Chains A and B, each alone.
Chain A
Amino acid sequence: MKRMWAKFGPVVTVVIAIFALWYVMAVVMNANWAYDKAERADVDLGFNELVVDTWSQKKPRLPAPHQVAVELWNTTVMKSITSKRSLVFHAWITLSSTLLGFAMGTVLGILLAVGIVHNKAMNLSVMPWVIASQTIPILAIAPMIIVVLNAVGISGLVPKAVISMYLSFFPVVVGMVKGLRAPDAMQMDQMRTWNASKWTTFWALRWPSSVPYLFPSLKIGVAAALVGAIVAELPTGAVRGLGARLLAGSYYGQTIQIWSALLMAAALAAGLVMIIGQIEKVTLRKMGQSQEARR
């Protein structure tokens, strides 16, 4: 019990504090509207009534957590998955393009990293650009890619996936290049002593030693891919997906809808990162290098 508290106590406390702050902020931010209404209805607003009102408005400036929770429950569990009002449906649209883009970005990133490690000219010419491109707000290109691909006749899943790919690809390249170069001179010399071919060196030494570097990059990559998919849904006024829910919510002032879409996106991101974390744990244990051993 004591150990449980030491591990989770601080986190739980912080989370509870955040929720408490959230409720207080909901009162503060929605108070104006509540007073307005009360004045028009000519009633005196006591503190209790104020709190009750600010936590149950229809279009609050800041919805209280339980309002968002109710909306989440109503749009996920209570609606059939195929319904357009179901958040699960929208989340799936976003998730599918995220995953497709993430897969493409990972494959592309690994291939490029292999090329960079094995080819001197490629290392010198491409690597600076890969690093420089990280300082460029790539997300700004998203609307253009969507529109251009639409004009060529490609629409739907693929353009969004392309943006996700673009965002998830850089962390993978950088991480993999580091990982493939991780074997030290001693290990490389050993390979040379055994007269190992480049191919064998790659599969027996470089690839395994890059795995611990690959997973952290994948975690960053998948989070970036999700952001890419959401932003990609904004510019064309898409009607499906979490990004579309955000946009529609902001057009019609449906704050509760925005917050529920936001929490859904957060849950997706957390879930994806956690899944990769689990795969990482299992893989590293099977490879005989637990995370603790590396530290």
Chain B
Amino acid sequence: MNMYLIGALVFWLAAWALNVWLSNLKPTRLTKLLVPVIFGITLLVIWEWVVRGLEVKAVLLPPPSMIGAAFVNNIPTLWADFVQTFIKGALSGYFIGCGAAFITAIAIDRSPFLQKGLLPVGNFVAALPIIGMAPILVMWFGFGWQSKAAVVVIMVFFPMLVNTVQGMQAQTAMQRDLMRTYAASYPQKLLKLRLPAAAPFIFNGLKISTTLALIGAIVAEFFGSPTVGMGFRISTEVGRLALDMVWAEIVVAAIAGSAFYGVVALLEKATTFWHPSQRGQD
């Protein structure tokens, strides 16, 4: 046993005790925030000290400090990769895919026949390993960001479609009757009842799609890409065993993914504040 390992063990026990104490207090906003943060910091510290203590080689698992250094030193590269993969690939694909799915859902809304047919097919396709389409799309659209956007479009389309179609059916008979009593026209019904009622489902689809979009854009780059992009960087740096750079790229992916999800979740909170699933949260 050396100092680092003992230090890691002591730190872990201390942090654990602190967390147990904190979580037995009256739950407030502060403890709710503090406990997971302490847990995260503990993981990082244990990682750092165990890697140092056991002298794990950097090609296997670099310590967090080294990853941080790689992150800071390579910000221009990371930024270029981020723009290529996230802004050009994932975001454009996300908007096209979700938009297309939304329009399709509204288009088939008036036909129960199409709904009955498309829902099972959509559910089936949503469970398939669509990511496998990536090599085909790279072949069709070339190595640039267009093929990545295409992969993202296909990946997000079906989850979004299924969620929106389900949401459009989410009104009660009472609400529909009320609309009929008002002699509401189809556009009125759509705007005043069906879309608002569908909003929680639509946002659920949008939230699922954020993760899928990033995954699609990154994995599609494994099948061919220009010499920039997060997926490209990960696969080449892994080949050179420069794992600190790979981890830095993963940090970027994690931040981008969480931020993307967070923005959509905030939008949801702002637009569906009236829904029971949003009320009752502090």
Partners in one complex: yes
Question: Which residues of chain A have a CB within 8 Å of any CB of chain B?
Answer: 9-15, 18, 29, 61, 120-121, 123-129, 132, 134-141, 143-144, 147-148, 151-152, 219, 223, 226-227, 230-231, 234-235, 242, 246-247, 249-250, 253, 255, 258-259, 261-262, 265-266, 269-270, 273
Instruction: Please name all residues of chain B whose beta carbon is closer than 8 Å to the beta carbon of A120 when the two chains form the complex.
Output: 20, 23-24
Q: List 11 A-B contacts (CB under 8 A).
A: A120-B20, A123-B23, A125-B36, A135-B261, A135-B262, A136-B254, A137-B253, A138-B215, A140-B250, A266-B128, A273-B127
Nearest residue, chain A, Cβ from B15: A125
A150 to B247, CA, bound (A): 17
Q: How far, in angstroms, from A12 to B117 measured CA to CA in the complex?
A: 7
Determine the distance from Cα of A69 to Cα of B40 in the docked complex, in whole angstroms: 50
Q: Within 8 Å CB of A231, what residues of B?
A: 131, 219, 222
Q: Is the CB of A255 within 8 A of B139?
A: yes
- A135–B234 contact, CB under 8 A? no
With A120-B23, A258-B132 already in contact, 15 other A-B pairs whose C-beta atoms are closer than 8 Å: A10-B115, A124-B27, A136-B253, A136-B257, A138-B215, A140-B215, A141-B250, A144-B234, A151-B59, A223-B127, A234-B222, A234-B223, A250-B136, A266-B129, A269-B127
B40:A129 contact, CB within 8 angstroms: yes
| A230 close to B132 (CB less than 8 A) | yes
| A259 contact from B129, B136, B138, Cβ within 8 A | B136
A18 CA / B35 CA spacing, docked (Å): 51
Please count how many residues in chain B sit with their CB below 8 Å of the partner chain's CB atoms.
66
A144 touching B222, Cβ below 8 Å: no
Question: What chain B residues lie within 8 Å of A127 (beta carbons)?
Answer: 36
Contacts of A9 in B (CB 8 A): 113, 117
Please determine whether A139 and B215 come into contact, CB atoms closer than 8 angstroms.
yes
Interface positions, chain B 202-236, Cβ under 8 Å from A, are: 210-211, 214-215, 218-219, 222-224, 230-231, 234-235
Alpha-carbon distance between A266 and B15 when the two chains are bound, in angstroms: 46
- B48 interface hit (Cβ, 8 Å): no
Secondary structure dominating the interface of B: helix
Complexed CA–CA distance, A255 and B247 (Å): 34
Q: For residue A247, which residues in chain B have a CB less than 8 angstroms away from its CB?
A: 135, 223
Q: Which residues of B contact A138 (CB under 8 A)?
A: 215
In the complex the two chains form, what is the Cα distance from A110 to B175 in whole Å? 40
B92 is an interface residue with CB less than 8 A from chain A? no
Distance, CA A9 to CA B133, complexed state (A): 28
How many residue pairs bridge A and B at CB < 8 Å? 169
- Decide if B68 is an interface residue (CB 8 Å cutoff): no
The stretch of B118-126, B162-170, B268-276 in contact with A is B118-126
- Write the nearest CB–CB distance from A263 to chain B, whole angstroms: 9
Closest to A120 in B: B23
Q: Which of B113, B132, B231, B247 has the most CB of A within 10 A?
A: B132
Is B29 interfacial (CB-CB < 8 Å)?
no
Q: Which of A18, A126, A137, A223 contacts B257 (CB 8 A)?
A: A137
Question: Once the chains are docked, how many angstroms separate the CA of A250 from the CA of B177?
Answer: 55
In the complex, are the beta carbons of B136 and A255 less than 8 A apart? yes
Indicate with 1 or 0, residue by residue over B124-150, a CB within 8 angstroms of chain A CB atoms: 100111011111101110000000000
How far, in Å, is A280 (CB) from chain B's closest CB?
14
**Complex alpha-carbon distance, A136 and B247, angstroms:** 13
Q: Residue on B with the closest CB to A231?
A: B219
B106 to chain A, nearest CB (A): 17
State whether the Cβ of B32 lies closer than 8 Å to any Cβ in chain A: yes
In the complex, chain B residues 236-268 whose Cβ is within 8 Å of any chain A Cβ: 238-239, 241, 243, 246-247, 249-250, 253-254, 257-258, 260-262
A262–B136 alpha-carbon span in the complex (Å): 10
Please determine whether B253 and A125 come into contact, CB atoms closer than 8 angstroms.
Answer: no
A219 lies within 8 A of B219 (CB): no
Shortest B59–chain A CB gap in Å is 7
Residue of A nearest to B122 (CB): A14
A9 to chain B, nearest CB (A): 8
Q: How far is the CA of A200 from the CA of B20 in the complex (A)?
A: 25
Asked whether B36 lies within 8 Å of A152 as measured between CB atoms, the reply is no
The chain B residue with its CB closest to the CB of A249 is B135
The residues of A that contact B131 with a CB separation of less than 8 Å are 139, 227, 230-231
Interchain CB contact under 8 A, A270 and B128: yes
Nearest CB in chain A: distance from B163 CB, A: 14
Given known A-B contacts A11-B116, A14-B114, A258-B136, A124 and B19 have beta carbons under 8 A apart: yes
Contact of B19 among A12, A18, A125, A135 (CB under 8 A): A125
CA–CA, A124 and B234, complex, Å:
33
The smallest C-beta distance from B26 to any residue of chain A, in angstroms, reads 12
